[in-house]
Each structure stands twice: as C-alpha cells, then as structure tokens.
Amino acid sequence: MATRKRSKKTGDKSKRSRPRADGASVAPSVAPPPRGSGTRWLVIAAAAALVVGVLVWEGSPPGTVAPESLRLLVIERHPHDTGAFTQGLLWHEGKLYESTGQYGESTVRRVDLATGEVEEQTPLPDDLFAEGLARMGDELVQITWRGRKALVWDLGDLSSVREHSYHGEGWGLCFDGERFVMSTGSDRLVFRDPRTFERIGEVRVKRAGRPLRRLNELECVDGLVYANIWMDDNIARIDPETGDVTGWIDASGLLPEDERTGGEDVLNGIAYIPETGHFLLTGKNWPFLFEVDFVPTQ
C-alpha cells in the first residue's frame, strides 16, 4: 500500500479540534425571584437586564445579520471513492465532477453518482495540489493550493485547454454566472474575472459581525455562496454582496466518527442539483456522498 503523502493541512490544522467559529457571548440565566423580595428584586432584575444588554451589544454589534439556523435532512446516500481527497465538487447535467488533492495524487474527474465509478480523470503534475473546482460553460476551472495556477479543462474529455496565474493560496472556487468566487482559507471571498481570472474585488465574511475564517470549498447557488469551513462540521450560507452569513447549517454527525479513518477526513465538498433542489455533501476520503436538503432547525 502506498504511503499517503503529507497534505497541506499540517501542524495544528491536522488536529480534529473544532473551536467555535463565532465566539458569541452567552447571556447569564436569571432565577425566579424569591417570595416577598419586593423592591429589592426589581433592582436586581434591572441590573441583570443591564448586564445582558451590554453582553448582547458586545457580542453582536448593532445592524448585524442573525444567521438562520438550519440542519440537514438526508434524502439518499451514494457511494464515494475513499481514495478521493475531495477538494472541489460540482454537478452538471447528470454527472458529478470532482477535484481531488494531495501532491502526486491530484486529479480532475467525472464520476457516476449512482455507482461512484470514475468515468474519466486527468492527473495533475506532481508538484501541484488541486483545490476548488468550478464550471463556466463547456469548461472546468480548477485552482491549486500554493501552485498559483488555475487550470482550465475541457468539460467533455477533461483535456487541458489553458491556465491562468494568480497570487496567494487557492482553496475553494465557484462561478455565480458572472464571476468566479474564490476562497483563500481566510475570511475573504475574492472575485475574479471569468475570462482572465484577474482579481476584480473581494468581500470579508462575517457571522453576526465577527470574521468567519478558514473558508474552504464553495458552491454558488441563486446569488448566494455556500462554504465549507476547514475542520468544522458547519456550512455557512453567505451573501457575497455584503459578506454576511445569512444561514448556519449544522452538518455534524453526517458521517459518524466510527466510519472515519481519522486525520483529515473532514467534511468538504458541496454540489447543488438544480433538477431536484437538493445538495450533495461529502468529505475527504469519505465512503459516501449524502444527498440532502437544508431545513430550519426545530
């Protein structure tokens, strides 16, 4: 068996700790008043209300958007190649397209959803670590982690068409119909020209007024951006015009811990199926793809 090559997420990032992404303040609970406390209780209650008001003010600045709380409704489970270190995922006309990472193992591939079989794939040069994947017309665009290259592939036979260069790291990518939206592992979404891949703008992402960092794989749907967060089991729904997180999707428990191999087999990969309105979710080296709906938390 070949030894798995070391990935980009080394050091502290390789640990499975999942710190809270928002750091929001929690207001203290207030017990019911004792009998006969009278005016003294009113003073205490007023003071407590003042403290709560200060905490809420500090935790959520005025004018911030409170994200909608959502959860997953699993519709179906599909097979997935456990050798696929999933970095990018998209759906088009009945086929799944996937970008897989790792130095010396990176590919762009077309996959049959029902069987999990790889129908076509093209390997990347050994010195490139594949990341996000997006489609524009009859072409796929695949970014690389530190290679500073965006590779353009023919959608039909996955042959190389051309490439673009860019500065910095590449993590996730999607196309919103007018521009590419790219993540860099920070709290920024970078907008890029669809023809030249030149940077044309950016927005900083905030959850309840606080920066949301480690943005990873992206999916553009109906003017919104859905983002995986590195080493986190939540998915952010983002308004790309303001950077506000408008929805917070709890995907914890989708693949139980006893079905994971450990290390970096974290949630990563979002694809939207317009024919059904469902989403496909998976993770790095996961044995399954999950077809899901996002529904309000009860």
Structurally, the chain folds into a number of domains equal to: 2
Tell me how far apart the alpha carbons of residues 91 and 111 are, in angstroms, rounded to a whole number.
Answer: 10
* 99 and 55 in a common domain: no
Residues forming a β-bridge with 154: 139
Q: For 275-290, what is each residue's pLDDT tens digit? A: 999 999 999 999 999 9
Residues 6+ apart with CB under 8 A from 181: 173, 174, 175, 189, 190, 191, 192, 218, 220, 225, 240
* 265 and 121 in a common domain: yes
> pLDDT higher for 130 or 7?
130
Which residue from 118, 85, 132 is spatially nearest to 104, judged by alpha carbons? 85
Q: Is 94 exposed, middle or buried (CB count within 10 Å of its CB: 0-12, 13-18, 19+)?
A: exposed
Q: For 15-71, what is each residue's pLDDT tens digit? A: 333 334 444 433 333 333 333 334 333 333 334 433 333 333 345 666 677 999 999
Q: Residue length, the chain?
A: 298
Q: Worst-scoring range by mean pLDDT, 147-156, 187-196, 261-270, 276-285?
A: 261-270
* 61 and 129 in a common domain: no
Structure tokens at 187: 């709290």
DSSP secondary structure of 125-164: PTT--EEEEEEETTEEEEEESSS-EEEEEETTT--EEEEE
Last residue of some domain: 50, 66, 82?
A: 66
The model's confidence at residue 12, banded by pLDDT at 50, 70 and 90, is very low
* 147 and 274 in a common domain: yes
Predicted pLDDT at 34: 38
Tell me how far apart the alpha carbons of residues 192 and 200 are, in angstroms, rounded to a whole number.
Answer: 5
Share above pLDDT 70 across residues of the chain, in percent, rounded to a whole number: 78
Predicted pLDDT at 59: 54
* 254 and 176 in a common domain: yes
* 283 and 209 in a common domain: yes
* 48 and 140 in a common domain: no
- Burial letters 43-68, b for 16+ CB under 10 A, else e: eeeeeeeeeeeeeeeebbeeeebebe
Q: Does residue 18 form part of some domain?
A: no
* 151 and 50 in a common domain: no
* 255 and 193 in a common domain: yes
Question: Considering the entire predicted model, what is its pTM?
Answer: 0.80
3-state class (DSSP) for residue 39? helix
* 138 and 48 in a common domain: no
Predicted pLDDT at 298: 79
Q: Does residue 25 form part of some domain?
A: no
Q: List alpha helices for 109-254, DSSP H.
A: none
> pLDDT higher for 40 or 100?
100
The rounded mean pLDDT for the chain is 84
Please give the residue range of the domain that contains residue 76.
67-296
Q: Does residue 6 form part of some domain?
A: no
* 257 and 194 in a common domain: yes
Q: Does residue 78 form part of some domain?
A: yes
Predicted pLDDT at 264: 79
